[in-house]
Amino acid sequence: MQFQVPQFIDVSPKIVGPLTLKQFLYVASATVISIILFYILQFWLWIFITVFLGLVAIVLSFGKFNGVPATKIILAAFNYLWHPRSFLWKKEGKIVQKPTQSSNPLKDLFLKISTSSNPIGTREKSSKIFQGRESEEDLRKTTGEIRRAHRIDYR
């Protein structure tokens, strides 16, 4: 027994001529609003608003930017502007993980070099360039908040 597998599932069906249902509704709503405004507004203002509505309807129904429909881009823009955003970074404490010993001596040496502040045996020599004075100071942010900051002067 053979089954037919749909192949073009990402393509919307054409309902009204060459238009999908969404495209038809965008164009039809702009047309209905334009007809209503024809009886309410002066002719020159009606022409201006009709051209604007027509452009908006065309962009909403046919516009794609980088392969994404214009309606999704506009909804994402409103979502970005409407919902509040807060970016917080709270340093609660230093999390120090002890490196585990592996069977590879090169990995162990790399861990010692990258995580240690003391020289390793005779391979490294302590340099006066990288030794600095450590202190803690109060840091005042632009919001007025005062935080304790760790400062190292390399002079």
Q: Which residues of the chain have pLDDT under 70?
A: 86-102, 116-134, 151-155
Instruction: Check residue 131 and give its pLDDT.
Output: 57
Please give the pLDDT value at position 89.
65
Query: What pLDDT shows up at residue 85?
Result: 73
**pTM assigned to the model:** 0.49
Per the listing, tokens 């009204």 go with: 16
- What integer pLDDT is reported at residue 104 of this predicted model? 78
